[in-house]
A and B are shown apart, each in its own frame.
Chain A
């Protein structure tokens, strides 16, 4: 039980911070679905962040350059 609580105490701030950063960054970049991106950031650490960075910084930016 205690281990579970410790895991939550570590995971929740990390996940929250990541989700909020993704949300604000997507909003700043003018992404249409920034709310969804924010919720996507809540799913796990750090693969959501990596995927977000791949999608926005590589795929979308490359697409816009074309």
Chain B
């Protein structure tokens, strides 16, 4: 460690009220005077100037401490909102898909109905009305039982 670095460390220690060697500072104050006389100030450390610079830095830090950073960010709420938006978007897409699929199914049924006539619709509805809906009741019970066992 050079003499200059040693002096800077001692000045910082003094500034923060830590243990320091006063002789180094005194010696350097005298040296500054000698250096001023010899016009070679840049080689030495101006103790008084360094101390005032440190005080200035401390004032700036105090100023930064006084700034009120009261920005309340509720991260959980933001994440929840994002999830809600995502769900809404997916739900909308799913609804559109369902509508398109329904239109396709209905158009196929309509085309068949127009080509074959009322007979097709009657047979289709009779079949559905007597078999499909009522089969759902035992089917749903079976699904419930299965989920209960799981």
Contacts and interface: CB of A to CB of B under 8 A. Distances in A.
A48 B117 CA distance: 23
A50 B114 CA distance: 28
Give the most central of A4, A50, A59: most B CB within 10 Å. Answer: A4
Nearest to B116: A4
Contacts of A1: 114
B137 interface: yes
A15 B103 CA distance: 11
B118 A60 contact: no
Q: Which 6 A-B pairs have the closest CB atoms?
A: A51-B133, A55-B140, A43-B128, A63-B144, A47-B133, A8-B110
Given A19-B102, A42-B105, A43-B128, A51 B144 contact: no
* Interface size, B (range): 20 to 34
Nearest to A49: B133
Contact of A4 (B99, B114, B128): B114
B113 to A, nearest CB: 7
B41 interface: no
A64 B95 CA distance: 27
Contacts, number: 65
B134 A51 contact: yes
Interface residues of A, number: 30
A1 to B, nearest CB: 8
Nearest to B117: A4
B133 A15 contact: no
B105 A39 contact: yes
6 contacts: A23-B95, A27-B94, A35-B98, A40-B136, A51-B137, A55-B140
Given A8-B110, A20-B102, A23-B95, 6 more contacts: A15-B106, A19-B102, A20-B98, A27-B91, A42-B106, A60-B144
Contacts of B102: 16, 19-20, 38-39, 42
B112 to A, nearest CB: 11
